[in-house]
Structure 1
Amino acid sequence: MKRLLRCIALVALVAGLAACGPPRKSVFPPTLSIQQMSVQPDGEWHLVLRIQNNSYTGMTFHSIDGTLQVANGIPVRLHADFKRSIPALAADVIPLDVLPTPAMTAALNAVAAKGSAGSLAYRIGGSTNATAHQDKKTRDFDFHGNDWLSPVPGIPNTYR
């Protein structure tokens, strides 16, 4: 009986010591999407990319490197170096300018002709470099996203 009580006390002591360490917060890949896109007078597209931190800890994002594909056309490169500290389960935006292909411009013009009833499918994918605040280790996270852009009523050359 004494032996059983000692084993139980030892297991309780080990479990108590294991619980004393700091809790590890889960780190998950972010979600990226286009929050808004405007067509500039020179034809360049000004994107506002939304980075959603899906982790249970704050993260500092350093760069993105990926592609934007519109209407199953040829993708264009997305690349930006920046520094954004985003709290757990929160989001922030970064600006990014891209030069669309002629096919992308034609697809967007077709949607603009339909007014607010039109929408244009897009796909973004690539990787982002980030550091979790809890462990200070820089990592690359893949991201993939499919969504739609539609003209914003009352604001010319702007899509969400």
Structure 2
Amino acid sequence: MRPRAWRLIATLSMVAAVLGLASCSSNVRRVSEPAVSIQQLTVRADGSWSLELRLQNYSSIPMQFETVALDVSVGGEAAGHLQQAVNYSIGPETADVVTVAMQPSSTAKIIVADVLAGGRALPYELKGTVTATPEDKKSRPFEVSGRSTLNPAPGLSGVLR
């Protein structure tokens, strides 16, 4: 091949590579299932709980989180149903925390008291729906579920993180 042909092939290859990279960086508007977890559980003096829920937006666009409706279990036992309006806007691919109150079942209170007294981990499970509105879209419910554990927070009485 002649040098001029090689230059043409090299130039065309370079243009194709640049166009390929440019298409990778396009603004894809992806709506993904959000996630919910308990960041902190605080036992109040009256026996109710204050839950700091971490709302995770995995979408590439902002979402307005409207309500959470969750069945909460601790230590394998039903703690109760949590239904609350949160009305919180969360940016793309980020998370934020909202605080909600919950009146747990008697069994759940005993389990948490035992865990706190023994300094052990508390397994929990959340199942339900989060209603959210992706930017410029319609509101819709997202099914969520998750399992994790909370541990006593050193130096903070009645707090699990």
TM (norm. structure 2) is: 0.80
Report the CA distance between 1:55 and its aligned residue: 0.7
Quick one: which of 2, 20, 30 aligns to 1:26? Answer: 30
Distance 1:75 1:41 in 2: 18
Mind listing any 5+ residue stretches in structure 2 that lack a counterpart? 1-22
Mind listing any 5+ residue stretches in structure 1 that lack a counterpart? 1-18
RMSD: 1.5
Corresponding residue number in structure 1 for 2:85:
81
> Does the CA-based 8 Å contact 2:54-2:96 persist in structure 1?
yes
Distance 2:157 2:84 in 1: 26
Corresponding residue number in structure 1 for 2:51:
47
Misfit runs of 4+, over 4 Å: none
Once the two structures are overlaid, the 10-residue window that deviates more, 51-60 or 96-105, is: 96-105
Residues 45-79 of structure 1, C-alpha deviations (whole Å, 9 max, x = no match): 11010100011111111111121011111241111
Kindly report which structure 2 residues correspond to 1:139-150, keeping only aligned pairs within 5 A, or say none.
Answer: 139-150=140-151
Is 1:152 the counterpart of 2:153? The answer is: yes
Corresponding residue number in structure 2 for 1:62:
66
Residues 76-96 of structure 1, C-alpha deviations (whole Å, 9 max, x = no match): 111111211100011111111
Across the two proteins, how many residue pairs are aligned to each other?
137
